[in-house]
Amino acid sequence: MEILLFFSVFVIATCGLIYELVAGTLASYLLGDSVTQFSTIIGAYLFAMGIGAWLSRFFKRDLLSWFIQLEILVGFIGGISSALLFLLFEHALSFRLILYLLVGLTGILVGLELPLLMNILKNRYAFRDLVSRVFTFDYIGALLASIVFPLLLVPYLGLIRTSCFFGILNVAVAIIVLVKFRTEIKWASYLKAKAIAVIIFLGGIFFWANDIMTFSEGMAFRDPVIFTHSSPYQRIVLTRNKSDLRLYLNGNLQFSSADEYRYHEALVHPVMVYSQQHRQVLILGGGDGMAARELLRYPDVEHITLVDLDPSMTRLFRENTLLTRLNHHSLQSSRVTVINADAFQWIKQHKTPYDIVIIDFPDPGSYAVGKLYTTAFYRQLRHCLHDSSVMVVQSTSPFVAPKAFWCVNTTLRTCGYQTIPYHTYVPSFGEWGYVMASPGTQPLRQQQEQLPEGLRYFSASVFPQMRLFAADMADRPVSPNQLNNQVLVQYFEDEWGKYQE
């Protein structure tokens, strides 16, 4: 009997600390800055425990029943906490508020546990004994939790399963107490049913944790995964470590917050310098709003139309505070209109000319995306351009996939565009290529000197160097990419396939 009760103390203590660690880890995954997150979470949690301890004075009768109720509740809330936070991260406007509310609630409940238990035990043991034993087990439990959490639980179970597992342990304590003291407990069968229901529920989450937050997928990424979403079009994954946030679409890196400015400045500013007018801009792809952010630096950009296939991408980058910090709220700008449509269909239906077109599609790794790099596409796009419009196409890596890169250039030239291929180094991507193109008959020439303030990478003086291609990336004879040959997809797959072997 005695052993059992003190074992309960041990389990309760372990669970309590685990919930705290889970909350702290989640906060630093999702919000970054682990020192701040951990210390504020620990502070808030301990403070909430204090509130719980204070509240314990109001429980005067039926203590055992209340204790069992409490265990079930702690198990339930603690158990679902990380699944809930992962799910809400995408939708909540203020994730922080929800996080601290949950931490506060768990803290209060955990804070109630020990005082309540000591009240239950006070008539069975001498006070000296009681205090000594309860705290001994409490601290041993805490030690165990703090060791197994980083070494076993996070790497092998993942956060969602860890909290479920400990939630189940909490409820198991409730059941053990329930069975041992069944004669002294009111509403015993009701409590038993409730406890079993919670265990089944948590067991379900444990079992389906992969669907909530693909843990195995998380293993495939370099950094902890903080967000996943499967839209009808693609799988969106965000990962985060202490210094950067990365976006993956279908497992392919789209940007790293540490160096995306290099990619996006190189994508946007050269066309701006090479075009006379900036008034009407079209972005195809680029649902992350980063290209729009660069364009909004120009006061003479009157309007940006952004056409991206996936509403869940543009919503994420319009609403999530973490991401809007990166794109400077560009998708909320009154100068930007976001349209969720299939680019090929959209350009077939819209024939108003744009001064600038930025094409930031995913790499041509599939026959579906490959169609957006064909002669048919670029010929159709001509109807969205006037003679002096300038566009740019992100064109994969000229180092890893030189044939694929030069194929984009050849395809554009076949369609009668003047082109300037160029490249830059983006550490997280490697050497990356772009093709600037204009339908005019004259070669592209620089039209403007002025660049906006605040650029970290691009300047007029680095551009000549970006246009130089060393021998290992130099132009080579390739066929234009057509709907009926899709050579680009083949080049791309061959070259990237070899590179990744």
Partner 1 sequence: MALIAGGTITAGQYIACSSKKDKYAHITGRINGASAATGHRLREGGFPPPEETTHMHTVIAGSGAAGLAAGRKLRLQGIPFKILDLEPRPGGNAASGENAWSSYPLGAHYLPLPNLQNGDLLELLREAGILTGYDTAGLPIYNETDLCFDPEERLFIRGRWQEGLVPQWGVEADSLSTIQRFLAAMDHFRWVKGSDLRYAFDIPVACSSADPQFTQLDDISMKTWLQQEGYHSEELQWYLDYCCRDDYGADTSTVSAWAGIHYFAGRKGKAANAGPSQVLTWPQGNGRLIQHLLQFSQDALLTNSLVYQVTPAGDKVHVDYFDVIRQTTCRIIADHCILATPHFVSCRLLPALQPAKGFVYSPWLVANITLDHIPASSGYPLSWDNVVYKGRSLGYVNSQQQTLLQTKPEKQVISWYLPLDHLPPTDSRRYALSLDHTHWVKLITDDLELAHKDIHRLIRNIEVQVWGHGMIRPQPGFITGVALKQAQNSGYDNIFLAHSDLSGISIFEEAFFQGNKAATQVISRS
- The residues binding partner 1 (CB under 8 A) are 197, 200, 232-233, 309, 342-345, 348, 367-369, 371-372, 374-376, 379, 482-486, 489
Shortest distance, position 487 Cβ to partner 1, whole Å:
8
Shortest distance, position 489 Cβ to partner 1, whole Å:
8
Query: Which are the contacts of 267, defined by CB distance < 8 A and separation ≥ 6?
Result: 291, 294, 358, 360, 392, 394, 434
Which of residues 241 and 490 has its CB atom nearest to partner 1 in the complex? 490
Which of residues 229 and 348 has its CB atom nearest to partner 1 in the complex? 348
Which of residues 207 and 367 has its CB atom nearest to partner 1 in the complex? 367
Which of residues 163 and 375 has its CB atom nearest to partner 1 in the complex? 375
Which of residues 177 and 236 has its CB atom nearest to partner 1 in the complex? 236
Decide: 128 and 3 in contact? Cβ < 8 Å: no
Shortest distance, position 493 Cβ to partner 1, whole Å:
11
Which of residues 234 and 396 has its CB atom nearest to partner 1 in the complex? 234
Longest dimension (CA), the chain: 97
Which of residues 380 and 448 has its CB atom nearest to partner 1 in the complex? 380
Q: How far is CA 368 from CA 230, 411, 444, in A?
A: 18, 17, 31
Q: How far is CA 170 from CA 15, 101, 103, 247, 481, in A?
A: 7, 20, 17, 37, 61
Q: Which of 365, 416, 422 is nearest to 398 (CA)?
A: 422
Is 288 designated active site? Answer: no
Shortest distance, position 483 Cβ to partner 1, whole Å:
5
Shortest distance, position 21 Cβ to partner 1, whole Å:
30
Annotated catalytic residue within 288, 308, 310, 360 = 360
Question: Which tokens sit at 223?
Answer: 């950094």
Strand pairing report for 235-240 and 225-230: antiparallel
The helix (H) or strand (E) run that includes residue 225 is: strand 225-230
**Mutual orientation of helices 487-500 and 402-414 as an angle, nearest 10°?**
160
Q: Which of 79, 92, 104 is nearest to 30 (CA)?
A: 92
- Please give, one letter per residue, the 3-state secondary structure of 245-293: EEEEECCEEEEECCCHHHHHHHHHHHHHHCCCCCCEEEEEECCCCHHHH
Burial of 152 (0-12, 13-18, 19+ CB in 10 A): exposed
Query: Which are the contacts of 39, defined by CB distance < 8 A and separation ≥ 6?
Result: none
Decide: 303 and 280 in contact? Cβ < 8 Å: yes
Q: Which residues are catalytic?
A: 360
